[in-house]
Structure 1
Amino acid sequence: MTLTRLPVAGAPKKPLAPLRKIAIEEHFMNPDAMHPEETFNPVEFARVSGLETEFVQVVMQRMKDLHHKRIEEMDAAGIDVSILSLTAAGIEGIADAGKAITAARKVNDALAETVARSRGRFLGFASLPLQDTDAALQELEHAIGELGLKGVMVNGYVQDPDKRIGHYLDEARFAPVWEAIAALKVPVYIHPRPSLPQVRETLYAQHAELAGATWGFAPETATHALRLVYSGLFDRHPELTVILGHLGETLPYFSWRIQRCFEFNPLGHQVNKRLQDYLCENFYITTSGNNFDQALICAILTMGADRIMFASDYPFEMSDDAARWIETAPISENDRRKIAYGNAEQLFGLR
């Protein structure tokens, strides 16, 4: 039997345009900027990060390609612009301050050249040598003020010369850097890196598969963010903006309980607002590597769609997977457009 179709006389004259996207957690590597003792070793990276060596080798091939396969994948996913950032452990993983200073300048200068060559397809996050506060301030002015990079990427804690010690950004030594960032009005993206050796050797003993992106990255980065909140950083600088990936590193889901237990047990700390308020006022989160409807809906209910931005987590994830998901996620079309490109346009001044 042949069905008689109803006439559709009022269909739009123009076909529906593909959903535009700006992706803001897209990684690169610059081995030329690193010193011999920091030369990338995929086997060691896999071991520390809880990854399969074969996976790391493929990721690294994708990581180094900045102008060919990467652009093809962006085109296939409908990504207009990617904001590039140095992958973990980045400059933060260099123990020697002098070497970190040199490497940060090389990375930022090379990134600015890549951005210029891309004809509008790339923007960039700056790397800072946080091992030396004065040098970090100088590099911040150079990278943002002179090179035009769009914010700062921090790959977790800053390595101490004692490899078993890491410095988190709520420490007093970083106060001048936060003041300068607040004055420049640029966001800081806090990205995961593997926890300190003593954590990996105890908490993840016999379970290396949990040490990295499978689980360990989320509590490591969420704890860093909570240290910032309960240190009073955002009370001192209410204009600061911090970005977290992976739909907030579990914080939207767990925010009520964290705040509830903190109020019962502040142990000498006091801040002006609830965690939920800081999440809504001082944080953005991205969809990087978390293409999950239920998590997205939880994040929208906790923070609002205005505080969420699209990211694919390239090259650790496939851009087209992230694109197909956000194009069909069960949210309003208005929220979809905000998340895909609108919020990033507003935050980074791209309109």
Structure 2
Amino acid sequence: MATASLDRPGAKTGYKVIDADTHLTEPHDMWTSRAPASIRDRVPQVKMLDGQRCWVIDGDKSIGTGAHPNSAILKDGGKVRVLDDFLKLQFEDVHTGSSSLKERLQVMDETGIYAQIVYPNILGFGGQAAAKVDADLRLACVKIYNDAVAEMQADSNGRFFPMALLPWWDVDLAIKETERCAAMGLRGININSDPHLVDLGGERLPDLAHEHWYPLWEVCEDMGMPVNFHIGASETSIDWMGQQGWPSLTRDLRSGISGAMLFFNNGKVVANLIYSGLLDRFRNLKFVSVESGIGWVPFMMEALDYQLVEIAEGKGFEKKPSEYFKSNFYACFWFEQGQPAADMMRKVGIDNVLFETDFPHPTGLYPIENLDSRYGDLTHEEKTKVLGGNAAKLYRIDI
């Protein structure tokens, strides 16, 4: 079942809205059109595998069974809200704004969005799918993606801002790619949230609090490149339909529970970063919890403050754990609305909240209706910050 068109009168707003989490449906030729001939048959591409259309890497490894476009928005602007119908969609069925910059900008104009922050699909929200192949091919795939989205950003006239994928399996390469992407104009990095849980041919990396990563954090801090953790940014954290819902529930209900529980997985990442003491060394490093909602943040911060005193007496940092969220973290909201949302934003911190839609994913906030009146008694100044001002400052976007 689909909704009506995205072009609705209630979508318009007087605010410069920056959508802090959207996704690109990667065109089928994104990698093959840019790869050198020596690896063109190995980079991600869509072809038949075992009788089924798939995204394939290295010739025979599926990284997207069914070659699903990861978009729930149809060509006419309608939205699919039934899981089984969504899973049947193909690239040809969905809105061209999912994959094409020109049509994406048209959708943004129709729905009152000034600029978008953009994340990938095919290589994983944190680039984790690249671990399926050898290091040289991994690096080539990441760099081709970054080159492609940098071109789109340059062509967008300051409205389309993809976050850079990193070769996270090699910190020296990650630093070089961060610097290269910054030179191309990209405004932040997107990284695997659990590299220490990935088996790279019998070797494992340390977790993100280890000094192994200090040189990367130093570069990100110095260059003003926010570190973005999208939900499901590792093979261990992503679980669309598997372990969270009880077996007696239908698949769509299990998927709903799993999707909601992914939000809390980002709380784990935030908590570990705070308790690591990392932010006493990198005081100006900024982290973003993407597509996680905001309701869990006050509870988590209160719990971290309490637990540190009651269970880890003698351990301490320059600030209370909850104070690090105020100085170093952002979280994204979209489905929360009304006076409860306004109250929650103030508890989280008005300066720490970003607005998102997750376009064109199925739980995304499309169509957008009555954006000006969704958020209770937020003042004009508060709305200006959460709907765009905070993101503009963080990602250096001219509004």
Q: TM-score, normalised by structure 2?
A: 0.71
Query: How has the CA–CA distance of structure 1 residues 276 and 202 changed in structure 2, closer, same or farther, with 3 Å as cutoff?
Result: same
Q: Is the 8 A contact 2:153 2:162 kept in 1?
A: yes
1:23 lines up with 2:19 in the alignment:
yes
Aligned to 1:99: 137
Ranges in structure 1 where 5+ consecutive residues have no aligned partner? 1-15
How many corresponding residue pairs?
A: 330
CA distance, structure 2, for counterparts of residue 152 and residue 121 of structure 1: 17
Q: 1:115 is aligned with what amino acid? A: Q
- CA-based RMSD of the aligned residues comes to 3.4
Ranges in structure 2 where 5+ consecutive residues have no aligned partner? 1-11, 32-43, 45-56, 71-81
CA distance, structure 1, for counterparts of residue 16 and residue 306 of structure 2: 39
CA distance, structure 2, for counterparts of residue 73 and residue 213 of structure 1: 29
Q: 1:346 is aligned with what amino acid? A: K
CA distance, structure 2, for counterparts of residue 347 and residue 199 of structure 1: 26
Aligned to 1:71: 105
Q: Is the 8 A contact 1:22 1:311 kept in 2?
A: yes
Q: Deviations over 1:255-310 (max 9, x none)?
A: 212321232113885432222201110011222x4333355334423232122122
Aligned to 2:161: 123
CA distance, structure 1, for counterparts of residue 120 and residue 169 of structure 2: 17
Q: Is the 8 A contact 1:247 1:295 kept in 2?
A: no
Match of 1:244 among 289, 299, 311: 289
Q: Is the 8 A contact 1:242 1:284 kept in 2?
A: yes
Q: Deviations over 1:57-93 (max 9, x none)?
A: 5596458423254333211221111122223344223
Q: TM-score, normalised by structure 1?
A: 0.80
1:25-64 equivalences in 2 (<5 Å): 25-30=21-26, 32-33=30-31, 34=44, 35-36=57-58, 37-42=61-66, 52-56=83-87, 58=89, 61-62=94-95, 64=98
Aligned to 2:385: 338
Q: Which has the higher helix share?
A: 1
1:156 lines up with 2:193 in the alignment:
yes
Q: Is the 8 A contact 2:18 2:388 kept in 1?
A: yes
CA distance, structure 2, for counterparts of residue 113 and residue 311 of structure 1: 23
CA distance, structure 2, for counterparts of residue 198 and residue 306 of structure 1: 27
1:1-351 equivalences in 2 (<5 Å): 18-30=14-26, 32-33=30-31, 34=44, 35-36=57-58, 37-42=61-66, 52-56=83-87, 58=89, 61-62=94-95, 64-87=98-121, 88-95=124-131, 96=133, 97-144=135-182, 146-158=183-195, 159-161=198-200, 168-193=207-232, 196=235, 206=247, 209=254, 214-245=259-290, 246-248=292-294, 250-266=296-312, 270-287=316-333, 289-293=334-338, 296-316=341-361, 317-322=363-368, 324-325=370-371, 327-330=373-376, 331-351=378-398
Q: Shift of residue 101 of structure 1? A: 1.4
Q: Deviations over 1:156-202 (max 9, x none)?
A: 32343379x88642244322211211111221111111775699666
Query: How has the CA–CA distance of structure 1 residues 268 and 214 changed in structure 2, closer, same or farther, with 3 Å as cutoff?
Result: farther
243-252 or 203-212, larger mean C-alpha shift: 203-212
CA distance, structure 2, for counterparts of residue 251 and residue 225 of structure 1: 9
Q: Is the 8 A contact 1:187 1:242 kept in 2?
A: yes
CA distance, structure 1, for counterparts of residue 395 and residue 212 of structure 2: 27
CA distance, structure 2, for counterparts of residue 307 and residue 228 of structure 1: 16
CA distance, structure 2, for counterparts of residue 57 and residue 267 of structure 1: 54
Describe the SS at the equivalent of 2:221.
helix
Describe the SS at the equivalent of 2:21.
strand
CA distance, structure 1, for counterparts of residue 296 and residue 256 of structure 2: 16
Q: 2:24 is aligned with what amino acid? A: F
Structure 1 stretches of 4+ with a deviation exceeding 4 A read: 42-46, 56-60, 165-168, 194-205, 210-213, 317-323
CA distance, structure 2, for counterparts of residue 85 and residue 93 of structure 1: 14
CA distance, structure 1, for counterparts of residue 162 and residue 193 of structure 2: 18
CA distance, structure 2, for counterparts of residue 189 and residue 21 of structure 1: 19
